[in-house]
A and B are shown apart, each in its own frame.
Chain A
Amino acid sequence: MTRKGLLNEFKDMEKVLLKNIENPNSADINEYKKAGGYSSLPKALERQPKEIIEEVKKAGLRGRGGAGFPVAMKWTFASADPKFPKYLLCNADEGEPGTFKDRPILEKNPHLLIEGMAISGYALGAEYGYIYLRGEYPEAKNILNRAIKQANDNGFLGDNILGKGIKFHLAVHQGAGAYICGEETALIESLEGDKGQPRIKPPFPVNVGVFAKPTVVNNVETLSNIPYIIEIGGDAYSKIGTTDCPGPKLYCVSGHVEKPGVYELPMGTILRDIIYTHCGGIKGGKKLKAVIPGGATTPVLPPDKIDCPMDFVNMPKHGSMLGSGAVIVMDESVCLVKVCYRILKFLEHESCGKCTPCREGTGWLRNILGRVESGEGIEGDIDLMLSVSGNMMGKTFCPLGDGAASVVQNFIKHFRPEFEEHIKNAKCRFK
């Protein structure tokens, strides 16, 4: 297939998640309905909850927050637990640096998310839902609250949805600036009014979640796929994207590309095509130096390793992870020791402090990276960082500690000469 052919194919792909967002009033319920919105909810309510879960299973939908866990499996566990009430939480705490994919849904297409949550709540037997929204999205908070009110007034939420006697109440819970609350058990702690410190698993949230009740936590993008799966059916949906990871995917691209932004493409789109075909290549025709493909804590890739399908199954085979689909592109002017330092500074700040290897390790790594970057590194610093990160790996409750260790290990793995040069020359040549 020629590059041009590929382009046309993508141009013609129906937008599911970003549908209608060019319309300046897309967040209004009437505009959403005009564009075909709220037609899946009545269809879903005609069917048994189990059938909806079956449809999502056939679709092969995986969670879009980063882990890629099969959605239907999570739902089945929660649905099978006899405790009531059950809760459906939407994780709208997108805080992974480089990630801004959920923002267009929250701000421009809130009713898509609400319809997805109403259907999902029915499938799970959940009567209450919360959207855990990061504190840094004040505009989205107002838009969501307005949309929830409209949905209540129109009978799509509340005590008697569409007159069918089905109950689902939805509210926004605003976070207060803590990256760790994107981790589902920390999110639950925060929703309960506590510090956002992750819980040990098991028990899993599907059995003992928020308020000690069965709880499903799904990402904004995940839940926003549900109306479309009901509309076209799980079988048809499973034919979009790659076999193991079907569906459309939001890729958010930032850094040194000509056209940064959020792109809705089939899951499994090649990373090189995202950068060069969709985003117009490297800004100002400069040379590509490195790409972080899935948000700041996913392993960095050098330019010769970007011919990889961007999905949950294929990226690990190519030495990285899909993460949140947040592609950060860096050209030749960037100091990668500085970037690595900045990510560790962030993770040190965001470590919740519960597990010692993470709380102390992130600080140590930031400290060593800082001195290397500023030209004060000493011989052995690289090995010391590999030793510290090796001692963090696998020793923490949640993935933050592993992520920090993996960032350092992968920057060194692919760009070791740049670290060595900083130490040898006792300065950074990018300044």
Chain B
Amino acid sequence: MLNEAAIKELNEIRQKYPNARAALLPALYIAQREFGHLSPEAYEAVSEILGVPKAIARGVATFYVMYKHKPMGRNIVQLCTNVSCMILGAEKLVDFLKNKHGLEPGGTTSDGRFSMVIMECIGACGTAPAMLVNDDFYENLTEDNIVKILERYK
């Protein structure tokens, strides 16, 4: 079950909407944060608090890529490879991170430090290639600076 603070947070968010169902997306975000990913327990908690059937919650969550359905690393590297990033070398960075640093797209490093996710456009096209590490934007990436950036995340 969610802890008291998370339940309180969710009930406050619930007040922003005319019905409980509309709070499903934010509720899934909270559950994901608290449980690490959307585990059966996470769906159980969301379902119980909002009164939304678990099957519905799961159906909605699996539509959106930002909900995770397996345990993730401590840090999530989200590298964009869409057109503007691609023509400025994003795919070379994907290969570089895979071959030199063991970051496999869709995978998690064995020490649990990083999960790597390939993103569709993250809105940093003017400073491509770009990535998000957790909630932090990094832009104008090169093989040199990307390694230094990742060093900061333990």
Q: Judge whether B125 and A173 touch: CB under 8 Å.
A: no
> For the complex, what is the distance from the CA of A195 to the CA of B64, rounded to whole Å?
8
Q: Within the complex, what minimum Cβ distance (angstroms) separates A220 from chain B?
A: 12
The answer to whether A98 touches B65 (Cβ under 8 A) is: no
- Which B residues are CB-close (under 8 A) to A343? 83
Please indicate the chain A residues that have their CB under 8 angstroms from the CB of B137 in the complex: 139
Interface size on B, residues (CB 8 A): 40
Residues in chain B near residue A179, CB distance under 8 A: 120
Residue of B nearest to A179 (CB): B120
Are the C-beta atoms of B25 and A328 separated by less than 8 Å?
no
Contact A334–B87 (Cβ < 8 Å): yes
Within 8 A of B (CB), among A83-100: 94-100
Residues of B within 8 A of A190 (CB): 25
A residues within 8 A CB of B19?
211
A side interface size, CB within 8 A: 53
Least distance between B62 CB and chain A CB atoms (Å): 9
Binds A, one of B94-102, B103-111, B127-135, B142-150: B127-135
- The number of residue pairs between A and B whose CB atoms lie closer than 8 Å in the complex comes to 132
Residues of A within 8 A of B82 (CB): 97-98, 296, 342, 346
A71 at the interface (CB under 8 A from B): no
- State whether B86 touches A252 (Cβ < 8 A): no
Residues of B near A103 (CB, < 8 A) are 123
Instruction: Determine whether the beta carbon of B132 is less than 8 Å from that of A176.
Output: no
Asked if B40 lies at the interface with its beta carbon under 8 angstroms from chain A, I say no
User: Quick check: which of A150-158, A253-261, A378-386 contacts chain B, the rest being far away?
Assistant: A253-261
Does A163 reach chain B (CB closer than 8 Å)?
no
A127 to chain B, nearest CB (A): 11
Q: Decide if A256 touches B29 in the complex (CB within 8 Å).
A: no
Which residues from chain A contact B126 at a C-beta distance below 8 Å? 100, 252-254, 260-262
Query: What residue in chain A is nearest B88 (Cβ atoms)?
Result: A255
B122 within 8 A of A: yes
By the criterion CB–CB under 8 Å, are B29 and A97 in contact? no
Q: How far is the CA of A102 from the CA of B123 in the complex (A)?
A: 9
Instruction: Specify which chain B residues have a CB less than 8 angstroms from the CB of A255 in the assembled complex.
Output: 83-84, 87-88, 125, 128
Interchain CB contact (< 8 A) of B135 among A139, A178, A192, A330: A139
* Closest partner residue, chain B, to A353 (CB atom): B63
Residues 251-273 of A at the B interface (beta carbon under 8 Å): 252-256, 260-262
Is B52 positioned at the interface, with any CB of A under 8 Å from its CB?
Answer: yes
B49 in contact (CB, < 8 A): no
**Given known contacts A97-B125, A174-B25, A342-B82, A193 and B65 CB-to-CB distance under 8 angstroms:** no
In the complex formed, the residue of B with least CB distance to A103 is: B123
**B113 in the interface (beta carbon within 8 A):** no
Asked if A328 and B16 sit within 8 Å, CB to CB, the answer is: no
Contact B120 A95 (CB under 8 A): yes
The answer to whether B64 and A330 touch across the interface, beta carbons within 8 angstroms, is: no
Are A326 and B125 interface neighbours, CB within 8 A?
A: yes
Per a CB cutoff under 8 Å, which of B28, B83, B135 touches A98?
B83
Q: Which of A136, A252, A338 contacts B132 (CB 8 A)?
A: A136
In the complex, whether A202 has a CB less than 8 A from a CB of chain B is no
B26 CB–A CB distance under 8 Å: yes
A36 within 8 A of B: no
Residues in B lying within 8 Å of A, measured CB to CB: 16, 18-19, 21-26, 28-29, 52, 59-60, 63-67, 78, 81-84, 86-88, 119-128, 132, 135, 137
Pick 12 A–B contacts, CB within 8 A, sort by A: A97-B120, A134-B123, A137-B123, A174-B25, A174-B29, A177-B66, A193-B23, A193-B60, A255-B84, A328-B84, A342-B82, A346-B82
